[in-house]
Structure 1
């Protein structure tokens, strides 16, 4: 039986080639996603572990939590005298003070502004320092600096060059060496400047204080006992951590973005495999139909129905194994391309050798083989149920037409109608009010299954309706319409594969446009400032030096300037963000609408300050003005803030968070002292051009600061949305590619079963050009059916998702007609192209041989 399976598969390798390619692409996606994320996580672990390999303990100021939303919290410096206290503890061999902070690099008179941090740190030799020299020497004098090799290479900074470092103070320094971090030439999306410790303290205005102390235990000493002794000597104000724990925490914070990317990639891989499953099932259904008589001969020769079923599944297993092995190998190679693609959309990942685990290989093989075999299960069962005599009597066309028991067809149609109705009811329920995203998830599953079951029943009517315009082309157009209608199962499965890909793209397009439009609308409605000063890096926590606000606010061309800061806090195990504002100046640059309470009540600093909540958050938490809320800050621990007001949701969205405190409250609970935005209102009688020039002049010593009008400010806020949706859309094109291969494959297989029909058409006078147009017209009809179903499905679920999001934040449905029309046009053109090869093959058939075919 296995020899027969292999021989049959190889004999039909042309028919199964595109099926194999669909499985291969899906498995490639899965493998590449797993390899990419595993590699990134391993590299980050290795980098931070290597960076702390020579240190046993690290002493820092104690905080309630280390990091939030992938950002490590800033801590207060340590007094210099603490170093001697640590050295006096038994078991401590060495205690080395370390200084680090933010320091912007300038080279050639131009600021180097990475998307990540600009690190300034003291140079510490091994084993304490995480950086190793690649060339040159360590900084010794006050005017010397070592730069990371990646930055030096990118900006052509050589040893002996002069650079400027801007921290709390500014200095012109000479480059004496280039350094790397672990095996890498630098930190991702960052610049690194390493100077002597006194120089770092001076540039960061720390006096004699230090950022942390690195401790090396004496040979033979028990590190845990030394840790306990140091903790007892210093007290609870200081945190004594294992350097291994700190490395793990830092790596976890850096891996935060990678985990999001993994979820996104695997979700897209699942979508690609779902589309591939329709292609696989359709291909095997057609192939089984074409082999009806062959299978009947096997049954007549003594093969049981179970053996016939195993033979079909065996072919699927053979194809699945072959495609999965090839896809796994290709996926490993594609992982590097995915890393570069993610980088192109603003998600820079660490570089290094790829990490291929046994889990990745097993998962990829199981997924590829499983999807292929399960997709072939239906055709295999149908093949096993056919009686030998009936099979010998049946023609291929009859089989493709989908004749089956009346009862089974009715059950399938009724079940499909019910599930499709439930699926489409999901967005309607959410739009009506009570539903949520969970309801939409269940409805999406019902819609997919329902359409797959209902498709054959409604396809003939839909095809004849959509195919009416083809009638104007004459006989080829009418034949194309009837050909697609008389094979409803085949047409339905082919169209649905493309429809689901188009649904995902339409969903992403509408959802992205709606989120972008909602963010822009809420911002422009709430913020009335003429200009916004922000960091060029678009950092959540900010990046504007504190003096930038003071310089701008003191300009005579500025009527008022109001600054905003952001911070993270813990709500149990959940991390939330808050916005800090000046309640006195903010109303002059915004148009905020209070639902209850007063914004200026934030200025009342009694009992640790107050907080204004977005109205929807107050409703969720069942809070009103006068109640209090417990918030855990990294620096001060758990504090209770009194609710002094409720803000309209759209206005809270414009301020980026649902929790608003005063700058005074922020100052008491946070170490960070950088601003995120400065809203500027131009003085009366001053032109916009004059004001902008004055503001930019005042910010000349703040290279990271950008002056933006409202349009540019909105663009900065939606940049991340655009990047993520752009990456998703590019990757979703893979599902559309697989679906288009399905159209090509289905038409190619249908030509085999319609060989005699095509020969007769040519014999009665149909030209090769007419035949080619008939096949291409059938491909366009399949694409049109997919466009109608896919775009409608995508828009409906996007509308439901926007409505669900609108329960907790302002969200307005936006239908980007231009982008949706582009999707429709591309899909129609792609459908036409998908029919080119089958049409060409049909036109080349020998007429006499085709007429004589059985």
Structure 2
């Protein structure tokens, strides 16, 4: 007898066409996982290198002390240091050099056009090596007050050459002459940023620091222990300052910058898991069909002496070969995909550092574990069924139909579905959480997977009734899907999962956007809003904008908002700072208790929900930890209606005066503008726009544009997720094609007989395509239904933290349904063509 491993290899190669689509599905899943790992590893390594480069020659950095370094991925701004501190540090034994450093924001303008990068517009004092991270690529360092060095990347992109005049806009605006071009480490500049380097006095002048500096970079003398030097410096300058090792600064800055990468990694892994789950259903279905078609062959093996265990391992061996081959191909494609994912994320507003890709050994291990593991695990069920059948029973078994499922399976399926449905009802009734929604979704999906074979015959005949209008081919398509319930259910469920995810994301995103729009337009009564075109998290709008616009005779009132972060134990929360005098004139805020004006005395207004969660009432105090001043206990002076707080973007409202005492940041987030009586909108808009000419990043928006700016990130995430979810749809459509293609093999005699009694090739093609469309429609009904149901549950669960109402975007969902139906039709084209090409006499003679 041929050794089983040789037989396994021979069977795999002999049936490579049948396993081809399964192989492709695994390849796509592994590609997604590999690309995600490579992308996130690369981004994290590049960020580490970037911040290590910025502190490479610095042993210690002295900055103003802060209670925490960063929050929500944003580093806190610290107070400047007195220039006298530099001499005190230089006098410490073991200090080889102590260089004052000034750093801030400064926009560059060349040829009359302001350069607004996606990232930072850095203005800094020039520091030579080893302190400075920038190195000259051309020209000279700045030596005079009117000289400027620009990063080489910005110079290339905007055609800036040595000798050109560039305008720098910071707290002061000056025109400087470009004397040099600089690079950052091995690169031509900082990613997605502009860099302007000037002399120390020029930087202090442009940023209005007087003689103060941002930080002091300390270089230890040769042979000096850095830790001991740090202790000596701390003792020499006293409390109120933070003395940190350069590598610690780099690690802290990189960790803050990696927050966005971490969120992207989580999203990519979730989508990769969805793709692999859909692929696993396809794998299990394919092996189940192939095993059914090979029952006679397996019976011969059993009769010849092969044990059940040998048959089991033979089938699993085929799965192992498929998984291994797919993993190798998936890793190769994953490397190419990583760059594509980076570009795709950039197209949807998620900017990642650019550089060489990192393929870590862990990535290879995970890719093989995923590819081989998912394939082998998915084949266990079919392999066990093949091994458990007695030879004689297998000889007599028909491969033409599959049973609808056992009683235990059906009962278990109803139980799981019932648990999922009841949990969802509990959430919709207001007594559930997001965790319960997730558990309900898992239970419902598991229940439907178990119930599929039992429900499919009835659903297929019901949903497929419209096919009867096409005549006999349509009725045969309906009956064909109904009489093989296991494979039809598995194929439809794979597509349903992808459609459920897309429907879920679409409904949830639309509901959130609608809630934001309704709360904003209901509360904000301003005629215009001025915001940064870059939509920075903390604002990015110069504080001069408020003063300049407020002085216009066309403007009745200009009221500004600021955002900040504060620590709440181990968590980080956001707050909004407002002017309690002018804000009521541009909003229609409704207080549930207290008075907004009371925040002028240093208090805080809470959203009703936040007060309920914290069990706080008027007169109580809320401990809030600020990076600049540490923990402060602010008295609760008012409670604001939740929807009104949502319009102001946070649950915690303080005054601008309280903000200035606790924050160093001096940037506004929004300026609400009310037009003066008797002034037309056109005249007001013209006057405001002219005033904003000196503030290139300031953008005048009406309410619709302001809402669009607030929901832009939702659109970006929805767009990115929808594009990536198309991978799961593609894999599921392969399942339809694969299922029908394999069914053609076992229905060869049936097809021959249909042709012999008069069915035309066209009718046969339509019968196969009709079956594909029926599977797709079955998936649409289940998938879209699940997506809407669990989006409703999620909206209900989120309603405990924000006022949300379910909004079902009928137009978008109709588009999803139309695309899925068309895709189902296309998925049946290849099997239909193959069936139509079968020779009638040969097909009839097939046993």
TM tier, shorter chain? over 0.9
**Aligned partner (choices 246, 250, 259) of residue 247 of structure 1:** 250
- Distance apart, 1:159 and its partner CA: 2.2
Name the counterpart of 1:614: 607
Do residues 558 (structure 1) and 555 (structure 2) align? yes
Do residues 646 (structure 1) and 639 (structure 2) align? yes
SS of 1:335 mapped into structure 2: helix
Deviation string 1:544-602 (CA, Å, 9 cap, x unpaired) is 11111011111111111110001111111111110000011101100111111111111
- Distance between the aligned counterparts of 1:270 and 1:152, measured in 2? 43
Deviation string 1:586-620 (CA, Å, 9 cap, x unpaired) is 011001111111111111x2xxx100011111101
Name the counterpart of 1:206: 209
- Distance apart, 1:333 and its partner CA: 1.6
- Distance between the aligned counterparts of 1:552 and 1:298, measured in 2? 87
Deviation string 1:474-513 (CA, Å, 9 cap, x unpaired) is 1100000000000000100000000000000000110111
Do residues 401 (structure 1) and 398 (structure 2) align? no
**Aligned partner (choices 774, 779, 783) of residue 776 of structure 2:** 783
Name the counterpart of 2:150: 147
**Aligned partner (choices 788, 792, 795) of residue 795 of structure 1:** 788
* 1:116/1:189 contact within 8 Å kept: yes
- Distance between the aligned counterparts of 2:803 and 2:114, measured in 1? 38
Name the counterpart of 1:464: 461
Taking a change above 3 Å as real, the CA distance of residues 536 and 446 of structure 1, as seen in their structure-2 partners, is: same
* 1:184/1:351 contact within 8 Å kept: no
TM-score, normalised on structure 1? 0.98
* 1:513/1:814 contact within 8 Å kept: yes
- Distance apart, 1:134 and its partner CA: 2.3
Do residues 367 (structure 1) and 376 (structure 2) align? no
* 1:464/1:482 contact within 8 Å kept: yes
- Distance between the aligned counterparts of 1:806 and 1:243, measured in 2? 45
- Distance apart, 1:330 and its partner CA: 1.1
- Distance between the aligned counterparts of 2:368 and 2:493, measured in 1? 26
Do residues 591 (structure 1) and 588 (structure 2) align? yes
- Distance apart, 1:763 and its partner CA: 0.6
Name the counterpart of 1:415: 412
**Aligned partner (choices 540, 543, 553) of residue 543 of structure 1:** 540
SS of 1:271 mapped into structure 2: helix
- Distance between the aligned counterparts of 2:734 and 2:260, measured in 1? 33
SS of 2:223 mapped into structure 1: coil
Name the counterpart of 1:216: 219
Do residues 760 (structure 1) and 763 (structure 2) align? no
**Aligned partner (choices 66, 77, 94) of residue 91 of structure 1:** 94
- Distance between the aligned counterparts of 2:225 and 2:676, measured in 1? 66
Name the counterpart of 2:710: 717
- Distance between the aligned counterparts of 1:694 and 1:160, measured in 2? 36
Alignment of 1:384-395 (within 5 A): 384-395=387-398
* 1:632/1:638 contact within 8 Å kept: yes
**Aligned partner (choices 673, 677, 688) of residue 680 of structure 1:** 673
Do residues 319 (structure 1) and 316 (structure 2) align? no
Instruction: Mark the runs of 5 or more structure 1 residues left unpaired by the alignment.
Output: none
Do residues 739 (structure 1) and 742 (structure 2) align? no
- Distance apart, 1:154 and its partner CA: 2.0
- Distance apart, 1:403 and its partner CA: 6.8
Alignment of 1:243-282 (within 5 A): 243-282=246-285
Alignment of 1:663-678 (within 5 A): 663-678=656-671
- Distance apart, 1:359 and its partner CA: 1.1
Deviation string 1:303-336 (CA, Å, 9 cap, x unpaired) is 1111111111111111111111111121122101
- Distance apart, 1:402 and its partner CA: 2.6
- Distance between the aligned counterparts of 2:58 and 2:18, measured in 1? 62
Name the counterpart of 1:194: 197
Name the counterpart of 2:313: 310
* CA root-mean-square deviation: 0.9
SS of 2:541 mapped into structure 1: coil
Do residues 823 (structure 1) and 820 (structure 2) align? no
Deviation string 1:665-703 (CA, Å, 9 cap, x unpaired) is 001000111111000111111111111111112222111
**Aligned partner (choices 116, 123, 128) of residue 125 of structure 1:** 128
Alignment of 1:67-78 (within 5 A): 67-78=70-81
- Distance between the aligned counterparts of 1:426 and 1:272, measured in 2? 26
Deviation string 1:181-240 (CA, Å, 9 cap, x unpaired) is 223322233211111111111111111111111000000011111110000000111111
Instruction: Mark the runs of 5 or more structure 2 residues left unpaired by the alignment.
Output: none
Do residues 451 (structure 1) and 454 (structure 2) align? no
Deviation string 1:445-481 (CA, Å, 9 cap, x unpaired) is 1111111100000001001011111101111000000
- Distance between the aligned counterparts of 1:161 and 1:462, measured in 2? 73
Deviation string 1:377-396 (CA, Å, 9 cap, x unpaired) is 11111111111011111221
TM-score, normalised on structure 2? 0.99
Do residues 103 (structure 1) and 100 (structure 2) align? no
- Distance between the aligned counterparts of 1:134 and 1:576, measured in 2? 43
- Distance between the aligned counterparts of 2:639 and 2:288, measured in 1? 61
- Distance apart, 1:160 and its partner CA: 2.2
Name the counterpart of 1:534: 531
- Distance apart, 1:838 and its partner CA: 0.3
- After TM superposition, which residue ranges in structure 1, 4 or more long, deviate above 3 angstroms? none
Count of equivalent residues: 844
Name the counterpart of 1:441: 438
Name the counterpart of 2:241: 238
Deviation string 1:130-154 (CA, Å, 9 cap, x unpaired) is 1122222211121111112222222
Name the counterpart of 1:704: 697
Name the counterpart of 2:181: 178
SS of 1:220 mapped into structure 2: coil
SS of 1:94 mapped into structure 2: strand
Name the counterpart of 1:66: 69
- Distance between the aligned counterparts of 1:370 and 1:146, measured in 2? 55
Alignment of 1:276-355 (within 5 A): 276-355=279-358
Name the counterpart of 2:38: 35
Name the counterpart of 2:800: 807
* 1:47/1:183 contact within 8 Å kept: no
**Aligned partner (choices 826, 831, 834) of residue 838 of structure 1:** 831
- Distance apart, 1:115 and its partner CA: 2.4
- Distance between the aligned counterparts of 1:56 and 1:295, measured in 2? 71
- Distance between the aligned counterparts of 2:191 and 2:720, measured in 1? 20
Name the counterpart of 1:729: 722
- Distance apart, 1:839 and its partner CA: 0.2
Deviation string 1:153-173 (CA, Å, 9 cap, x unpaired) is 222222222211001111111
Deviation string 1:390-436 (CA, Å, 9 cap, x unpaired) is 11112211xx42377xxxx0000111111112222333211111011
- Distance between the aligned counterparts of 2:59 and 2:315, measured in 1? 61
- Distance between the aligned counterparts of 1:3 and 1:32, measured in 2? 34
Alignment of 1:473-552 (within 5 A): 473-552=470-549
- Distance between the aligned counterparts of 1:345 and 1:200, measured in 2? 35
SS of 2:779 mapped into structure 1: helix
